Amino acid sequence: MSLVLDRTAQDLLFREAHTANTFTDEPVTEEQVQAVYDLVKYGPTAFNQSPLRVVLVRSAEARERLVRHMAEGNRPKTSTAPLVAILAADNEFHQELPALFPHYPQAKDAFFAERPVREQSAALNAALQAAYFIIGVRAAGLAAGPMTGFDSAGVKKEFLDDDHTPLMVVNIGRPGEHAWFPRSPRLPFDDVVTTV
Amino acid sequence: MSLVLDRTAQDLLFREAHTANTFTDEPVTEEQVQAVYDLVKYGPTAFNQSPLRVVLVRSAEARERLVRHMAEGNRPKTSTAPLVAILAADNEFHQELPALFPHYPQAKDAFFAERPVREQSAALNAALQAAYFIIGVRAAGLAAGPMTGFDSAGVKKEFLDDDHTPLMVVNIGRPGEHAWFPRSPRLPFDDVVTTV
């Protein structure tokens, strides 16, 4: 075995983890979300730009507003998950760069003075952080149900502003009955990896 | 402690892991790369679309071609890392969807008939997989050095084709001397997470 990570951790994070479509009623606590963040905040981003922003949808009123913008097939699970998080990219992340990247504070102006550059960089790096977040939810013993099927403009208007781009909505909780489909096949190594 | 993942695994993947800028000479084997892939291939993507493609740059000739397209500050580490991987998004991933998403093979035409839609979906989902890959490299006890500072058009022309978009280049190996900067600060929870 070429991995150092122990088998239990491999299973928890990847091999036995599944995208959940149903959940139990057990709440997801603020402490759990903080523990997830305090772990995954260390995942790498370019210039440590850390553009991910998270909106936790906890009130019934906010949940109702969100569900309205989800694709129809995603509404039942988004209605019933114990916690739903909107993950977004902050396109004005460069304001934080002098603090986040102290050994080269000039990066803010040298690389990120232009909004289209920032949007592209934030989209990629917030997506990396979204993946770390999903791994972190699993590290807390919870199941994640990430979804991209929603009206992005609607979610942006309801919950964000012009400086933030929604990336995905994630249902979070303990898996319920028939929580997932059987594991779908993955591409074989040789279809994905080539050597030059 | 709200996490189920044990502390050793937390440290290996997040808390003690750093982006490496120098490496030892110890080679990264094919078995290690396969073990990484066989773990991280299970990370979730929308419709299990799995758009990440990886080019391992192993020959001296290919390494030289790649280094030419790297930003100047990235050239020394890309020249000396035991292994360098180009991570790219396959914008024609939908061809594999009937096999990858067998319980709804119609997704290929229902959702992904148009190239701009595929490009957007591939960019997000390949970025998620790039993050899983970085975590997987760390799970193998290796250090990753992901970089976005390179000439994208040049890398595409040298190593890919019109259907593939380069996302990042990753140096891989055991960390060498002075391999990283001191840990940069992370944003506090309340600056990242809001509740509605």
User: Do B166 and B84 form a contact (C-beta atoms < 8 A)?
Assistant: no
Question: Tens digit of pLDDT for each residue in A87-106?
Answer: 999 999 999 999 999 989 89
pLDDT for position B120: 97
The pLDDT of residue B4 is: 97
Do A184 and B131 lie within an 8 Å CB cutoff?
A: no
Within 8 A of A164 by CB-CB distance, chain B residues are none
The whole-number average pLDDT for the span B41-48 is 98
Does B94 have pLDDT greater than 70?
A: yes
Q: Confidence class of residue B57 from pLDDT cuts 50, 70 and 90?
A: very high
A184 contacts on B by Cβ (under 8 Å): 48, 100-103
Looking at the DSSP bridge assignments, the partners of residue A70 are A150
pLDDT(B5) > 70: yes
CATH 3.40.50.2020 fits domain B20-175: no
Cα–Cα distance for residue pair A16/A113, rounded to 1 Å = 43
> What's the one-letter identity of residue B188?
P
pLDDT at site A1: 67
Work out the minimum CA distance from B34 to partner chain A, whole angstroms: 7
Rounded to whole angstroms, how far apart are CA atoms B174 and B27? 9
For residue B181, give the nearest of A107, A2, A54, A91 by alpha carbon. Answer: A107
> Does A93 contact B at CB distance below 8 Å?
no
**Consecutive H or E run containing A120:** helix A115-139
Position of tokens 């028939």?
A: A178
The closest alpha carbon to B171, from B152, B144, B151, belongs to B144
Residues of A in contact with B194 (CB under 8 A): 53-56
Q: What is the mean pLDDT of residues B138-166?
A: 98
Instruction: Assess contact for B86 and B159: CB atoms under 8 A.
Output: yes
Among the partner-chain residues B103, B140, B196, the one whose CB lies closest to the CB of A58 is B196
A55's CB contacts (< 8 A; 6+ apart) are A85, A86, A88, A159, A160, B193, B194, B195, B196
Backbone angles phi, psi at B91, to 5 degrees: -75, -5
Euclidean distance between CA atoms B139 and A1, whole angstroms = 11
Q: Does the beta-carbon distance from A124 to B167 stay under 8 Å?
A: yes
Number of CB atoms found within 10 A of residue B2's CB? 18
Angle separating helix axes A115-139 and A30-40, nearest 10 degrees = 120
Report the distance separating Cα B137 and Cα A4, nearest Å: 10
Q: Which of A54-58, B101-105, B138-142 has the lowest mean pLDDT?
A: B101-105
Residue of chain B minimizing CA distance to A87: B193
Distance CA A13, CA A104 (A): 34
Mean pLDDT of B32-53: 98
Contact residues on chain A for B105, CB-CB shorter than 8 A:
none
CA distances from B103 to A184, A185, B47, B48 (A): 9, 11, 10, 11
A13-35 pLDDT, tens digit per residue, is: 999 999 999 999 999 999 999 99
For residues B142 and B39, the answer to whether their CB atoms sit within 8 Å is no
- Within 10 angstroms of residue A117's Cβ, the number of other Cβ atoms is 12
Please indicate if any CB of chain A lies within 8 Å of the CB of B116. Answer: no
Low-confidence stretches of chain A (pLDDT beneath 50): none
**How far is Cα B104 from Cα B32, in angstroms, rounded to an integer?**
34
Length reported for chain B:
196
**What is the rounded distance in angstroms from the CA atom of residue A122 to the CA atom of residue A167?**
10
